Amino acid sequence: MDHKEPNAYARAGVDVDIESQASKIMYEASKETFKNRDGAIGEIVAPFDDFAGLKMVSAANLPEGTFFSVGFDTAGTKVEIAERVGIHDTIAFDLFAMVCDDAVLRGGEPVLVGSNLDIKSLGSDEKYLPVIRELAKGYVAAAAEANVAVINGEIAQMGSLMTGYGDFPYHWGAACVWFARKDKLFTGMEIKAGDSVVMLREHGFRANGWSLVRKIFGEAYGDKWHEKDFGESTLGIAALTPSVIYSRAVVALHGGFQTEGTCEIHGVAHITGGGVPEKMMRVLRPSGLGAKLTDLFEPPEIMRHAQTLGKVSDRDAYRAWNMGQGMALITPEPQKVVEEMQAFGIEAKVAGTITKTPGVTLVSRGTENEGQTLSFEV
């Protein structure tokens, strides 16, 4: 039996044959997402038969007042949690939540996504291809949830430059193209004193604040903290809870590039790094207004556990984590927004109001002193 000798590139750690198989897996998954944009802006009209090739999209006869932009983000170090527990088919929800939910902040509709998957090595056999298949499976599900098409991607074997947990560390980033109509763009000046703040519930950490989470759990339970029993499962499984993707529902309520909305929305805050205070102040800064938040969602149990274990103050917790709030919608029609969101399966509640006084005040649901009022200045 002939033995195939590895070529020079394979001996250097990059087997192009295995890489080609991995790219094909991701490409076949991307083709399943093309239907998400059928008949809409971003429809794939001329897909070439390879994952790296540029896909042509329909963008003809765009009306005057059409805007588009591109946003970039990553799943951050949450990928380490996936590496720890060996589950990789949910991390795409964190990636797509970061880029697609950011698109709606200015009134846009996320349309197209391309990603870059940096890995240490695929090795010289098919050992890691099942991980690629899991990532691809999540890719398809997350794209459907966000109603976007995946048009491009790259897998890069980084060798010793890539570090992480276990023998298959990776980093996943993406870009999202979004379109908007001029009359649908949020400037911040649409927000008025007396508007309500509707919070959308988040059940996990999303893709933010993980450096603090890992430090707390690592110091308390050691390197194998993810194996610690927690509730009906383990701490690692609970930590991996995938991000809720809100963009599809928000586009339906506010109106998309080619569709009319069902509710009047004046502003959107995506609660990621910096937490509720920073993200609310960012959206309120142009108007010079503030927010009083008296009825926030309770943080997820794992977040409360991390706060207590790490002796994190309520103030610090609300600046590091989302504390159970994934997105804020500012609206003069709060009950209608709550009902519409619930129809999408998203928990929502009226959490507070917009005030004439700048800054953000909130009634804490943290573990340090639940019920205390925290004030954050502009």
The reported pLDDT for the residue numbered 7 is 63
Across the range 165-181, mean pLDDT stands at: 94
DSSP secondary structure of 203-268: SS-TTSSHHHHHHHHHHHH-TTGGGSEETTEEHHHHHT-PPPP-HHHHHHHH--SSS--SS---EE
Across the range 298-308, mean pLDDT stands at: 98
CA gap 163, 80 in Å, rounded: 10
CA gap 98, 322 in Å, rounded: 13
Across the range 100-107, mean pLDDT stands at: 95
Task: Go through 177-212 and write b for each residue having 16 or more CB atoms within 10 A of its CB, e for each that does not.
Answer: bbbbbeebebebebbeeebbbbbbbbbbbbbbbbeb
The reported pLDDT for the residue numbered 10 is 58
CA 27 to chain centre: 21
Across the range 328-349, mean pLDDT stands at: 98
- Prediction pTM value: 0.92
The yes/no answer on whether domain 8-184 falls in CATH 3.50.50.100 is: no
Q: Which contacts of 56-63 are long-range, i.e. CB under 8 A and separated by 24 or more positions?
A: 57/112, 57/149, 57/151, 63/181
The reported pLDDT for the residue numbered 251 is 97
Q: Does the structure show a pLDDT above 70 at 6?
A: no
CA 248 to chain centre: 13
Q: Which CATH number fits domain 196-376: 3.40.50.720, 1.10.8.350, 3.20.20.30, 3.90.650.10?
A: 3.90.650.10
For 15-70, the pLDDT digits (tens) are 677 888 998 899 889 889 999 998 888 888 765 665 555 556 766 678 888 988 99
For 215-241, the pLDDT digits (tens) are 999 999 999 999 999 999 999 999 999
Across the range 243-260, mean pLDDT stands at: 96
Across the range 147-157, mean pLDDT stands at: 90
What percent of the chain clears pLDDT 90, i.e. is strictly above it?
Answer: 77
Work out the pLDDT band at 153, boundaries 50, 70, 90: confident
Domain spans, the chain:
8-184, 196-376
The reported pLDDT for the residue numbered 20 is 85
Cα-based distances in Å from 371 to 167, 200, 251, 334, 367: 45, 20, 34, 23, 10
The reported pLDDT for the residue numbered 1 is 45
